[in-house]
Amino acid sequence: VQRFISEDRLPHLLLYGPPGTGKTSTILACARQLYRDREFGSMVLELNASDDRGIDIVRGPILSFASTRTIFKKGFKLVILDEADAMTQDAQNALRRVIEKFTENTRFCLICNYLSKIIPALQSRCTRFRFGPLTPELMVPRLQHVIQEEGVDVTEDGMKALVTLSSGDMRRALNILQSTSMAFGKVTEENVYTCTGHPLKSDIANILDWMLNQDFSTAYRKIMELKTLKGLALQDILTEIHLFVHRGGERAWLRMILERPNLPLPLTECFLLSTVDFPPSIRIQLLIKLADIEYRLAAGTSEKIQLSSLIAAFQVTRDLVVAEA
């Protein structure tokens, strides 16, 4: 992009990728480099998510801006369409014709999260750049700069939690940093997780322990108490548990109940603590169950019923692992 600007050969651009990765910031920085402050308002048209996304926006402001020339500066104008994937099909088709007609006078930059929602006719007229999630190596220095400028008290584990929960989204990382700082003063791992309502690693460890080692009723009661106490969403719990199951070589602590013939009850206080790998066939079945639960949650079903299904899936898995041991 820098070379395009320096050679004054900027094409139509299509910037796509997950949110918070710098797409809008990149094109605005380019626009500031192309135009001086007094020219910016007349040479750049920026439309964001708050603007209408129907065909009228293309026939109105965009067409009017692209079809006129300015007497203050030679060269092309720039139209920035943020969240272009929210535009209707009719609007995108109309935009295609506007781009064709006014290419000499105007350059267009489309910004979106999902490339598949942009019609092929628009994609073919733009130079595409994909913005991937930011790596910790890129995020940490920027976060440290903000922390230093704002005088925020952040611990080392708090910084790791910010990077982990943001998943490469710089905007989300800064929002979490601000929210946690305002709510608690000090940004620690526990405060970050509490502020976002995300389950702590220790919470997930406890939930897994209960599902694998307690009877159904006890596990359900304890998990519901934890959810109510900390305001946890089952979707967040399910996401963390999925990571646990999906990682190859992950080991689960499983108390294998010993049955002794001289005792009247099969459940005793005598446990054998061991680590057990989920065999591939069992892991696959468990992942299918987790996918079904997530689908039903997305469809708006009861969290209580889906929590019961989650516990049942793990207890069936436990019995299969014990049977194969």
Mean pLDDT of all residues in 290-303 = 94
Q: How large is the average pLDDT for residues 201-227?
A: 91
Q: Which two tokens stand for residue 29?
A: 């920085």
- Tell me the backbone φ, ψ of residue 39, rounded to 5 degrees: -95, -20
For position 263, what pLDDT does the model report?
35
Model pLDDT, residue 270: 32
pLDDT-derived band at 298 (thresholds 50, 70, 90) equals very high
Report the C-alpha gap between 62 and 49 in whole angstroms: 15
Distances (CA, A) of 243 to 240, 247, 260, 283, 317: 5, 6, 36, 12, 16
Percent of the chain whose pLDDT exceeds 90: 49
For the segment 6-23, the average pLDDT, to the nearest whole number, is 89
Beta carbons within 10 angstroms of residue 95's beta carbon? 27
Is residue 274 predicted with pLDDT exceeding 50? Answer: no
- Given a cut of 80, whether residue 266 has pLDDT beyond it is no
Residue 268 is predicted with a pLDDT of: 32
Residue 162 token pair: 């910010």
Q: Residue 193: is its pLDDT beyond 60?
A: yes
pLDDT tens figures, 99-149: 888 888 889 999 999 999 999 999 999 999 999 999 999 999 999 999 999
pLDDT over 70 at 271, yes or no: no
Interstrand relation of 251-257 and 271-277 (parallel, antiparallel or unpaired): antiparallel
pLDDT in the model for residue 187: 94
Is the pLDDT at 276 greater than 60? The verdict is no
Tell me which CATH homologous superfamily contains domain 2-130: P-loop containing nucleotide triphosphate hydrolases (3.40.50.300)
d(CA 96, CA 39): 26
The pLDDT value recorded for residue 72 is 61
For residue 118, CA distances in Å to 130, 139, 143, 166, 203 come to 14, 29, 33, 26, 41
Is residue 213 within 8 Å of 321, Cβ to Cβ?
no
* Residue matched to tokens 């692209």: 66
Least reliable range by pLDDT among 58-72, 197-211, 225-239: 58-72
Confidence category of residue 319, pLDDT binned at 50, 70, 90: confident
Most confident of 51-60, 215-224, 260-269, 276-285: 215-224
Model confidence at 243: pLDDT above 50: yes
Paired residues of 15 in beta bridges: 111, 129
Q: What pLDDT shows up at residue 50?
A: 61
CATH topology of domain 201-324: Zinc Finger, Delta Prime; domain 3 (1.20.272)
Q: How many CB atoms lie within 10 A of CB 12?
A: 16
pLDDT for position 75: 77
**Mean pLDDT, range 232-246, rounded to an integer:** 88
Signed CA dihedral, 110, 26, 196, 179: sign only? negative
Q: Where are the beta strands (DSSP E) in 216-270?
A: 251-257
0.85 surpassed by pTM: no
Q: What is the dihedral of CA 160, 243, 173, 32, to 10 degrees?
A: 120
Report pLDDT for 188.
Answer: 93
Is a pLDDT exceeding 90 seen at residue 246?
no
d(CA 214, CA 255): 9
Q: State how far the Cα of 198 lies from the Cα of 72, in Å rounded to an integer.
A: 53
Q: From the CA atom positions of the chain, what is the Rg in Å? A: 27
Higher-pLDDT residue of 270, 115: 115
Q: Whole-angstrom Cα distance, residue 18 to residue 170?
A: 11
Confidence of residue 34 (pLDDT cuts 50, 70, 90): confident
For the chain, domain boundaries = 2-130, 136-196, 201-324
* pLDDT value, residue 73: 63
- pLDDT confidence bin for 226, thresholds 50/70/90: very high
- Which numeric CATH code is attached to 136-196? 1.10.8.60
**Residue with more model confidence, 322 or 187:** 187
Residue 36 has pLDDT above 80, yes or no: yes
What pLDDT, on the 0 to 100 scale, is given for residue 323? 81
